[in-house]
Amino acid sequence: GQSLEQPSEVTAVEGAIVQINCTYQTSGFYGLSWYQQHDGGAPTFLSYNGLDGLEETGRFSSFLSRSDSYGYLLLQELQMKDSASYFCAVSVGGDYKLSFGAGTTVTVRA
């Protein structure tokens, strides 16, 4: 099976930078994805890393190190609307199914 570890909670102030780490143990690893979920609503896709390195999408960046089985999501210039749960997920095997971590609740304070 797969196991993923990410912190359960992070709190930061508006304008700050937050890094959410994700470590994983799995076989047949294809890539690492990140999803955002507000208040139990539909999770939304943020990013995918299939190769080592940094992927940047606006204020959010994601990093992967396959040799370390580690990745992170970087949230910059935090805004109140970034308060949400963030899930890392590993893609295993060739049929694109994802295994999710337990999620990190990010709280942004004024």
Partner 1 sequence: NAGVTQTPKFRVLKTGQSMTLLCAQDMNHEYMYWYRQDPGMGLRLIHYSVGEGTTAKGEVPDGYNVSRLKKQNFLLGLESAAPSQTSVYFCASSPIGQGAGYTFGSGTRLTVV
Please report, as ranges, the residues that interact with partner 1 according to CB under 8 A: 1, 8, 30-31, 33, 35, 40-45, 48, 50, 87, 89, 91, 95-103
Token code pair at residue 76 = 């910059």
Task: CB nearer to partner 1: give 57 or 79.
Answer: 57
Smallest gap, in angstroms, from Cβ of residue 39 to partner 1?
11
Task: CB nearer to partner 1: give 16 or 57.
Answer: 57
Smallest gap, in angstroms, from Cβ of residue 85 to partner 1?
9
The two beta strands, 9-13 and 104-109, are parallel
Helix (H, G, I), strand (E, B) or coil at 81: helix
Give the list of residues 6+ apart from residue 77 with CB closer than 8 angstroms, or none: 15, 17, 59
Task: CB nearer to partner 1: give 1 or 58.
Answer: 1
